[in-house]
Amino acid sequence: MRTIVNNQRKERDLLLSRPYLPRHTKYDVEELLASRQIKLITGPRRTGKSTEALLMLKNRNFAYLNFDDGKLLNAWDDDLVLESLQQVYHGFEYLLLDEVQNLDGWDLWVSKLYRLGVNMVITGSNAKLLSSEMATLLTGRYIQIEMLPFSLSEFFLWNHKSLSDNLSEDEAVAQSLINDYLHFGGYPETVAARSLTQNYLSTLFDSIVWKDIAKRHNVRNVEDLNNLAMYLVSNFCNPFSANELTDALGMSSVATTKKFMGYLREPYLFYYLPRYNNKLKLMKKAPQKVYVVDNGFVAAKAFSLSENLGRLLENQVFIELVRRGFDTERSLFYYRSRNDKETDFVTRRGPHVDSLIQVCYDLASEKTLKREVDSLIECAGELKCQNLLIVTMSEERRIEKNGYVVKVLPINKF
């Protein structure tokens, strides 16, 4: 065991020696580390959770265990691991547990460490597994930090640009970067090698479906699971119901479809957006809309005969809203009026509707402009909301109609 821990220390030191782009976060690192609460960093695979944890702990005395290591898992012994950590990292102040969900019974072990007073930073790629089990054993004893692929702002910083600069001075370069991000997303390992993006993300997608989901849940009919994943990524931003999916894909039952949908959500691959309704029962019955965690997966895996720039922009806006802390359980929805007019996103703060957001790639057509504005205003009337916004690819203006003011913002200013 000591040899395994020593080898992982060499791995840790090698990772620490590399240059990284610091990520945007609302948390103060010093304040986080001073807290005895467990720091739980979650998010999709390969989005920089381990890097973020390493940057938080850099220049501090911390121990490191990587649970993607089969040798560590096969030789696991609670007491021997703690003994080896003390020998290799004498007097360590913090403990980083990377991809801890791979260890059977990890929650009991983490609970034991917490009682012993160990200050822990944990990373993991399974939302349900981590949050539900942490909530069961360690309610109120952890802080969850969610990591997603690079935002547009971070993508610009990677390319030595800033969204806060006057982009008109170098508009062609800025629009090229925005367009690149729209199509290929922000996975950290793809932004420096765009020619490899589709191959990398195709492999990652398959790995999540076949390894993180099928293997973990002992799925026997993996072909049905994969067909569902491919259908969802090809129909991103569209409404669906479990009954419709079952019929369209020839699934064995609606219950199986719902179960597989849950599995695909766990590793942060897909999000399901409910239709807003004051009555919870009606909201649960309405069709949901599906979004994918990164536009790059669309380019890599979606079966499509034509490019849909509007949906790519909508997906990008959705993920940005999630990045800002809105979630599909309590504060982020879509809405359809009594006359069947739709608003892409409804944000809520507490019990009150905070804003309505429409996404439209191009408002140059008067017909398109009228459709989008009228839908937004009709939904605003029903939801009693005055904060109205249309996000576009590049247009900016202010529209006044029927006593409402609609702000139009380009994606870079949004």
pLDDT tens across 292-339, in order? 999 999 999 998 766 789 999 999 999 999 999 999 999 999 999 999
Centroid of chain to Cα 231: 19
For position 288, what pLDDT does the model report? Answer: 97
Provide the phi-psi class of 117: left if phi over 0, else alpha when psi is between -120 and 50, else beta: left
Read off the tokens for 230.
Answer: 């491919």
By CB neighbour count within 10 A (0-12 exposed, 13-18 middle, 19+ buried), where does 270 fall? buried
For position 305, what pLDDT does the model report? Answer: 60
- List of E strands, 43-174: 62-66, 94-98, 119-124, 142-146
Q: Name the β-bridge partners of 344.
A: none
Read off the tokens for 271.
Answer: 């999000």
Give the integer Cα–Cα distance in Å for 299 and 202: 9
For position 137, what pLDDT does the model report? Answer: 66
Q: Which domains does the chain have, with CATH numbers?
A: 2-146 (3.40.50.300)
- Of 106-110, 182-186, 380-384, which gets the smallest average pLDDT? 106-110
H or E segment to which residue 39 belongs: strand 38-42
- Residue 412, CB-side half-sphere exposure with 13 Å CA sphere: 23
Q: Name the β-bridge partners of 119.
A: 94
Q: Give pTM, 2 decimals.
A: 0.92
pLDDT at 374 over 70: yes
Per-residue pLDDT tens over the stretch 224-264: 999 999 999 999 999 999 999 999 999 999 999 999 999 99
By CB neighbour count within 10 A (0-12 exposed, 13-18 middle, 19+ buried), where does 111 fall? middle
Give the integer Cα–Cα distance in Å for 354 and 66: 42
Average pLDDT over residues 84-93: 97
Give the integer Cα–Cα distance in Å for 75 and 377: 62
Read off the tokens for 414.
Answer: 């949004």
Per-residue pLDDT tens over the stretch 39-60: 989 889 899 999 999 999 999 9
- Of 41-45, 198-202, 368-372, which gets the smallest average pLDDT? 41-45
